[in-house]
Amino acid sequence: MKKRNLLPGLLITISTCLTLNANAQLGGLWQKAKDKAAQKAGETIDKSTDKPSDGSSSAPHKSNRAVVNSAFDYVSGDSVIYSEDFSKYGVGTSPTSFKTNGAGSVVTVNGEPGKWLALQDNATYKFTRQLFYPKHFTMEFDILASADQISDIYPVCFGFATDNSVRDYTNTTGAYVNLLYYNNNQVNVGNSKTNKYVNGTFDLSTDANRPMHVSIVVDGDRMVVYLDKTKMADTQLFTPTDAKNFYISGPIQYKNGSKILISNLKIAKFKNG
């Protein structure tokens, strides 16, 4: 029997095994490389969520700007000398506590408590009974601007005149506050007699169809004015001999059925000065 030469087949088998083993090792190394790369990529994504890509710190930025804190420092007088909320008057009647060169009627407002005095255009209102104010007193009241848009109301003016007459329409007379509703954010405070004028800004549009509270402090020759707890003026607005008579004047003009209402008036003095 003729013997076959097995060496070539054996060499082929050994070669194949070595190739497969090498491929397996190479594949394992390649998979490890891919896994490591994926892990690295995952680390990069994780870091990017902790730290901005521009290299800046993730800690909150601290501003160097000074923080300014303010407080509503108004203090009402502790002894009431006059108040009026129109509760004793029927709807549609004219309150006898006010006199005017025009007309005024008591009304109610849906969604708001109490009764209100509706101001006529080109009309000025003063207390029927003349009051004699102490040197130091406070005054508060609410103004409600009823309007589709605040610019439908041309200015509302209030303050203290030197007489109690309503013969003529009073506007920017004596120590006054002028609310320029048609200009949305302008509030002027002044007195031509003392030549003092303070022009400020207050977003009156946010007070459309809701009460805006007015607070006033008079101390000698000075007057401090707040609108909804925002101080608008604190300056000398009276001379030592000025008489004081509160007034409020309806707008020069209303548009589109707008209206100005007032209520909850209170004047108080301080027992200790």
Confidence of residue 54 (pLDDT cuts 50, 70, 90): very low
Q: Are 164 and 127 within 8 A, CB to CB?
A: yes
Q: What is the pLDDT of residue 271?
A: 86
Q: What average pLDDT does this structure show over 213-234? A: 96
Region of poorest pLDDT, from 47-51, 66-70, 215-219? 47-51
Task: Point out the least confidently predicted range of 9-18, 107-116, 165-174.
Answer: 9-18
Domain boundaries, the chain: 79-269
pLDDT per position as a tens digit, 193-210: 999 999 999 999 888 999
pTM: 0.74
pLDDT, residue 72, reads 85
pLDDT in the model for residue 64:
57
What one-character DSSP code corresponds to residue 62?
P
CA-nearest of 247, 260, 83 to 177 is 247
Q: Which residue has the tokens 């394992």?
A: 28
pLDDT at res. 65: 52
Dihedral angle of Cα 238, 120, 84, 187, to the nearest 10 degrees: -40
pLDDT digits (tens, 9 = 90+) for 80-96: 999 999 999 999 999 99
Strand partners, 207: none
As a whole number, the mean pLDDT across the chain is 82
What are 116's two structure tokens? 């209100």
The better pLDDT of the pair 1, 233 is held by: 233
CATH number of 79-269: 2.60.120.200
pLDDT at 184: 66
pLDDT tens for 121-152 read 999 999 999 999 999 999 999 999 999 999 99
* Average pLDDT rounded to a whole number, residues 223-227: 97
The count of other CB atoms within 10 Å of the CB of residue 99 is: 17
Q: What is the mean pLDDT of residues 50-68?
A: 45
Over residues 104-116, mean pLDDT: 97
14-51 pLDDT tens trace? 444 444 444 444 445 445 444 544 444 333 333 333 33
Which 3 state secondary structure label does DSSP give 212? Answer: strand
